[in-house]
Amino acid sequence: MRPTCLTLLLLLLFQQGFSQTAGITFKGKGVSLATVFASIEKQTDYTFYYKVEVLEKARNVDVDFRKEPLSEVLKVLFANQPLKYLIIDKNIAVSASEQPGTPTSGPAALMTVSGTVMNKRGEVLGNASVVVKGTLKGTFTKADGTFVLENMKPEDLLKVSFIGYQAVEISIKGQEKLTIVLQEADNQLDEVVAQGYSNTTKRLSTSSVSKVSSAELGRQTEMNPLLALQGRVPGMVVTPTTTYAASSIEIDLRGKSLLSGQSGRPLIVIDGSPLYVGSNQGAANGDGPAQGMAAGFSPAYSQNPLYGLNPKDIESIEILKDVGATSIYGSAGANGVILITTKRGKAGSNNVEVNASTGFSRITRYWNMLTTPQYLEMRREAFKNDGIIPTPQNAPDLLVWDTTRQVDWQKEIWGKMGSNFSANAVISGGTAQFTHRLSANYNTSSDITTASGSNDVIGVSAALDHRSRDSRFSLGFTANYYYTKSDIVRTPSISTLPPNAPPIYDETGGLNWAAYNAVGQASFLESFVWMPTPVLSKTNSISSNLRLKYEILRGLNLIASVGYNRNDNDMEMFKTIKSQNPASFPIGQALYGKSKSNNWTIEPQASYENTLLGKARISVVTGATIRQEFRENVSIYAGGYSNDALIRVLSPGNIWAITNERNPYKYAGIFGRMGLTWDNKYVLELSGRRDGSSRFGPGRRFGNFGAVGLAWIASDEQWLKKILAPVISFLKFNANTGTAGQDGGSDYQYLSRWGQSFGMLTYDDIDPMIALQPFNQDYHWQLTRELNLGMNLRFFRNDLSLAVNYYRKRVGNQLTQNPTPFITGFPTVFGNWDATVQNEGWEAMFSATPVRTKNFSWTFSVNAAINRNKLLQYPDMKNSPFARTMTVGKSTTEKYLLHYVGVDPMTGWYQFEDYNKDGWIKNNPNVMPGIADDNRYVFDQMPKVTGGMSHAFYYKIFSLNLSFDYRIQEGRNAFAGMLPSGIPGTLSNIPVELFNHRWQKPGDNARYAKFSTQSAPQHQFGATTGGSTLTYTDASFLRFRNINFSYTLPEKWMQRLGMKNGSLNITTNNLFVITRYKGIDPEIQTFGSMPPLKTVTAGFSVNF
């Protein structure tokens, strides 16, 4: 597939030429300026912008240029013309010459002033604010960027501002016509952030919004943009469910709020188009392209819907965390909103960008397991402790297998060096009326498993924007398509295989069943039978959006947004006869899965902005949402194949199981937002939404939600400014509160559904029908109430900044399964329970620029979040499904464990606290924890602190960027559950940690129990399988997530090669982690699981 990608890149490159001209050549008599301008545009990268009526006043010219510099040509063309020009980057703006205003008689020499506001690329800025400083007079620019102000004094001062640009003050100085060029904001306060269907700045926002830029996204090597958010967003925890590239990803934003198994994922919006993929049943169980039974069999589970979306095509990712920003999205945004904005073309000459990189991946570290001498010592000691004599049947490792053989089985499976290659080509450019951006990318990577395993991604994206000459009408279209193919190898838990065990594969390349059958240990190879044929998963994904906008009156716009998303996944996996134990009379097995989901969204909107009394800025957005989704999946599990040659065809086998789900979903809502800003100091935001969902029954389908937000820029108060200066340069307080609803859960639970079941007897040859689910037509919207407070400070002319946020989020009317009497035929029924879960916490972000000189700068930031979860209330909890797993007033993430107090020095068995003081150690999961018949106590595994930090160093043409993330947490000890018996000493290898700190003789003060070949007593079994605090430990860590070094190639070198610029870079991901955790990785807390990889890549980027 690599040649295909290179061919695509070459085609894109040759489609775009580039000119290198030493001057301008043109000859003509009596020619118009428009004709000359057109010739100059063909010979250079410059573009002229003007109004036709302006050039009508210009005289024709006689010229004869021969390789003349542009500056000289312009001097000749504009000599003695009633015109002037302004060069902005590669754009030349032409306008009428400024004429001094003619003062009227009398003391009030008033005049009319008009002008145009644009950016440095010559793009006009409609709806920019133009205010006469010190007065209540002001206006907004029209869609074409023009404005008119009457009764102006020659000495008046104009203040011009636009979201995302630096505000400027312009003195009229008697000029009647002005051309005002705004520069894009280079400070965080004036950076544009989203607030749902509109934009604002961090300075004026009433909500907590985090933003990750394109530069940060472009420095990562993974083909999943969500992974770039790790450690960058306070309060957001991003955790892949496995270490496979296509793995599903769990996102917790400000804690877990739901009692049911439904998904708590945030809403993802790509270019205004909501992305709905999956069954809403959690990251691992169907929130991705793969659905149904096939998702359960896949090592990557349901996969992630954004795997394949190229991070280099993304302009920014914004995370809306509180109800002030998300309430306008209604129920869809109750868990937060992730807004993904892709890159668009910019006015100017065509530009071609090419990026390519290649690198390798290795395992971060291996489990520290026993060597063969240590292992044999463990086994002999275990037999001695039990008083049992080893025999070939119970001890083949001691009496049959080669006791000098030493194999590191981890390296046998995970010891390969993975490789990766990525290429991306972009062509972009356009005029003030039309811009375009087309991108193509290819990415391939091989796994570290010694068996086959790879991932391939091919993607294309397009962004087209058009606006009319008067800028009143605009059209924007974006589309992202990506195809992914993953060969996913199911790797067994290889670590516990004895180090002197026979080879896994025989001389023919098949599994070595003969050697293991000979000693009755065939079970060792059972987990390897899926390895010869990886799980093959293919996904086609498209996300698109069309946005139309028309200004019918100044400040009043009509908008229509249409979005469409589709995901199609095909999955297959096989269990061949060749891979299975011949002694068990094997038959071939196959699993086929096909899943598809699509949704469309139509949102008509209207927006209005205006200035009142010169100091008040009012903005209103209103609209409606109509959305329809459809999900379907079919999984077929077949067996009985007598020949591996037939296993890829369904008909020769016998169908063992079929699952088929069809889930239509409809949603409708109306929304509105009103914002009022007074004197750029006081901000009021009101928003509301009425939602309707097909997941509820008649009379229960609609819910009303809303929010109110306030902000006060205290540092702009004159009475306070003197007190704060010079230490505090900016101080803002903000707050918001509101409600949101959720319609989570499966579709159509309010209907009685019927079907057939295998094995039921017929009646008069008629197959009977049975009820598939109990129905409940009374359940209704789950309700979220939220309060948020924030403070933002800047110190010493904004070189230091600190943002602090407090939140309290309560989710009530929880939708969950409720117990019902067995006589109903069903153990539970879906409905509301008046339970409330609260998440309360603090978030902080500190950033600084300690050094900033001409050649060197250093910027760093650090963020931290503390969340506390609590089951606030649960009436009649003893009859709830959570009576034995949760306690009111405690966290919903708590575990109930025996309290480990050490190993008995005399017996070598584990000891636990007699929590209820009845003289017995009991672990009874059928009663509430801690009562008379149970000795468990509460242990909370929720992270205490999460966060990240980053550093950016720039020295001339060199840059170094470092990013880290960290957690302070308790976690499941990786040794928990590693042994079927719960006690080390059986026919399985163990970590050196257990070997070095074991009990050996009476009087030993040990950490771990004695070795034994027998299954442990029940309470001892729970000690090492997750039932006691012995299996939980400090899992805090600091991870070096990303390191990027870049060298910008000298401009002169690039010009000689016919290029604009270029750079070389080296990037590492997950280079290492600092932790005291005893397992292989503090984020992978399961013994034997494949650990995360460290990746190193080198690449280049050039622009033509």
- What are the angstrom distances between the C-alpha of 706 and each of 595, 680, 692, 712, 744? 36, 24, 15, 21, 19
DSSP class of residue 627? E
Least confident of 315-324, 558-567, 692-701, 896-905: 896-905
Which amino acid does the sequence have at 298?
Answer: S
Q: Give residue 676's pLDDT.
A: 93
**Tokens 């008119």 map to which residue?**
148
117 in the same domain as 52: no
Please give the residue that has the higher pLDDT: either 796 or 915: 796
Task: Verify that 151 and 270 share a domain, yes or no.
Answer: no
On whether residue 205 sits in a domain, the answer given is: yes
Q: What is the mean pLDDT of residues 578-592?
A: 91
Q: Name the more confident of 795 and 898.
A: 795
Give the pLDDT score at 331. Answer: 84
How far is residue 221's CA from residue 1067's CA, in Å, rounded to a whole number? Answer: 8
Are 289 and 237 in a shared domain? yes
Lowest mean pLDDT among 2-11, 298-307, 536-545, 944-953: 2-11
105 — pLDDT class (breaks 50, 70, 90): very low
What tokens does 187 get? Answer: 């400070």
In a domain, residue 544? The reply is no
| H-run or E-run covering 1053 | helix 1051-1056
- Geometric angle at alpha carbon 237, from 488 and 478, rounded to 5°: 70
**Terminal CA-to-CA distance of the chain, rounded, Å?**
26
314 and 220 in one domain?
yes
Distance CA 162, CA 176 (A): 22
Question: Which of helix, strand or coil describes residue 732?
Answer: strand
Higher per-residue confidence, 102 vs 25: 25
Q: Does some domain include residue 287? A: yes
Q: Which of 322, 343, 364 is the last residue of a domain?
A: 343
Residue 1021 is predicted with a pLDDT of 53
Between these two residues, 360 and 172, which has the higher pLDDT value? Answer: 360
Highest mean pLDDT: which range of 2-16, 115-129, 1066-1080: 1066-1080
Give the domain CATH number at 32.
Answer: 3.55.50.30
pLDDT averaged over every residue in the chain = 85
- Quick one: pLDDT at residue 77? 86
How confident is the model at residue 1026, as a pLDDT?
60
Total number of domains in the chain: 3
The answer to whether residue 27 sits within a structural domain is yes
Task: Show which of 313, 343, 373 is a domain's final residue.
Answer: 343
Question: What is residue 11's predicted lDDT score, i.e. its pLDDT?
Answer: 38
Give pLDDT, residue 142: 82
Per residue, the 3-state secondary structure of 1001-1022, as one string, reads CCCCCCCECCCCCCCCCHHHHH
Q: Percent of the chain, pLDDT > 70?
A: 91
* Predicted pLDDT of residue 930: 60
Question: Average pLDDT in the 373-393 region?
Answer: 94
Q: What percent of the chain has pLDDT over 90?
A: 37
pLDDT score for 13: 36
**Quick check: is 238 in a domain?**
yes
Same domain, 228 and 309: yes
Q: Choose the weakest-confidence range: 148-157, 754-763, 975-984, 1069-1078.
A: 975-984
pLDDT digits over 237-277, tens only? 988 887 788 888 888 899 888 887 666 788 899 998 888 75
Distances (CA, A) of 579 to 509, 529, 753: 10, 5, 41
pLDDT tens readout for residues 1019-1050: 555 555 567 788 788 999 999 999 999 999 99
By the 8 A CB rule, do 808 and 790 touch? no
pLDDT band at 452 (very low <50, low <70, confident <90, very high): low
Q: Are residues 173 and 217 in the same domain?
A: no
Radius of gyration (C-alpha) of the chain in whole angstroms: 34
Residue whose structure tokens are 């609609």: 702
Task: Tell me the residue type at 471.
Answer: S
Predicted local confidence at residue 553, as pLDDT: 87
Structure tokens at 219: 């420095």
CATH code, domain with 229? 2.170.130.10
Torsion of CA 392, 394, 400, 403, to 10 degrees: -140
202 in the same domain as 334: yes
Q: Which residue has the tokens 């899965």?
A: 593
> What's the CA gap between 501 and 516, in Å, rounded?
9
Residue 283: the pLDDT is: 55
Q: Any residues with CB less than 8 A from the CB of 327 and at least 6 apart, and which?
A: 196, 333, 687, 688, 689, 705, 706, 707, 738, 739, 740
pLDDT confidence bin for 1075, thresholds 50/70/90? very high
The residue ranking higher by pLDDT, 480 or 294, is 480
Nearest Cα to Cα of residue 320 among 217, 233, 220: 233
CATH number, position 139 = 2.60.40.1120
Q: Are 432 and 49 in contact (CB under 8 A)?
A: yes
Instruction: Name the residue type at position 228.
Output: A
pLDDT band at 5 (very low <50, low <70, confident <90, very high): very low
165: confidence class by pLDDT, cuts 50, 70, 90: confident
Query: Does residue 867 or residue 98 have the better pLDDT?
Result: 867
Q: Is 323 a member of any domain?
A: yes
- Predicted confidence at residue 49, as pLDDT, reads 81
Q: Which of 104-108, 172-176, 323-327, 659-663 has the highest mean pLDDT?
A: 323-327
Amino acid identity for residue 44 in this structure? T
Q: Are strands 337-342 and 267-270 parallel, antiparallel or unpaired?
A: parallel
pLDDT band at 764 (very low <50, low <70, confident <90, very high): confident
pLDDT score recorded for residue 261: 66
Position 974, amino acid:
A
- pLDDT given at position 242: 79
pLDDT for res 1003: 93
Residue 980 pLDDT greater than 50, yes or no: no
Asked if 164 and 209 sit in the same domain, the reply is no
Is the pLDDT at 704 greater than 70? The verdict is yes
Which CA distances in Å does 808 have to 210, 331, 840?
Answer: 18, 18, 4
278 pLDDT tier (thresholds 50, 70, 90): low
Asked whether residue 165 falls in the same domain as residue 252, the answer is no
Judged on CB neighbours under 10 Å (0-12, 13-18, 19+), 3 is exposed
**Does some domain include residue 763?**
no
CA–CA dist 545, 766 (Å, integer): 50
Give ∠ CA 1034-1036-1042 in degrees, rounded to 5.
155
At residue 309, the pLDDT reads: 92
Q: Which two tokens stand for residue 736?
A: 């918001």
Average pLDDT on 490-500 reads: 85
Confidence class for position 931, pLDDT limits 50, 70, 90: low
Q: Which pLDDT score, from 0 to 100, does residue 280 have?
A: 55
Name 105's Cβ contacts closer than 8 Å, sequence gap at least 6: none
159 and 175 belong to one structural domain: yes
**603 in a domain, yes or no?**
no
**Which of 41-45, 287-291, 349-353, 721-725 has the lowest average pLDDT?**
287-291
pLDDT at 102 over 50: no
Average pLDDT value for residue range 140-153: 84
Same domain for 27 and 84, yes or no, is yes
| Of residues 869 and 290, more confidently modeled | 869
Q: Point out the domain boundary residue: 128, 157, 185.
A: 185
829-859: pLDDT as tens digits: 888 888 999 999 999 999 999 998 889 999 9
CA distance 317 to 233: 11
Burial class (CB in 10 A: 0-12, 13-18, 19+), 805: buried
Domain that holds residue 284: 190-343
Peptide bond into 774 cis (omega under 30): no
CB 606 within 8 A of CB 302: no
Amino acid at 395: A
- Reported as a single tens digit per residue, the pLDDT across 622-633 is 999 999 998 888
Per-residue confidence (pLDDT) for residue 758, from 0 to 100: 59
pLDDT in tens, 814-823: 888 888 887 8
> What letter does residue 370 receive in the DSSP assignment?
P
Residue with tokens 């088929």: 660
181 and 195 within one domain: no
Q: In what order do the strands lie in the sheet with 314-320?
A: 209-213, 314-320, 337-342, 267-270, 273-275
Q: What is the pLDDT of residue 702?
A: 93
- For residue 704, how many other CB atoms are within 10 A of its CB? 12
pLDDT at 421 over 80: yes
Confidence at 767, pLDDT banded by 50, 70, 90: confident
Q: What is the DSSP string of 756-825?
A: --TTPPPBTTB---EE-S---S----EEEEEEEEEEEEEETTTTEEEEEEEEEEEEESEEEEEE--GGGT
- Are the CB atoms for 52 and 84 separated by under 8 Å? no
pLDDT tens for 501-518 read: 999 988 888 899 999 999
Query: Which pLDDT band, with edges at 50, 70 and 90, does 605 fall under?
Result: very high
Longest dimension (CA), the chain: 121
Residue keyed to tokens 């090419």: 354
What's the CA gap between 993 and 987, in Å, rounded?
18
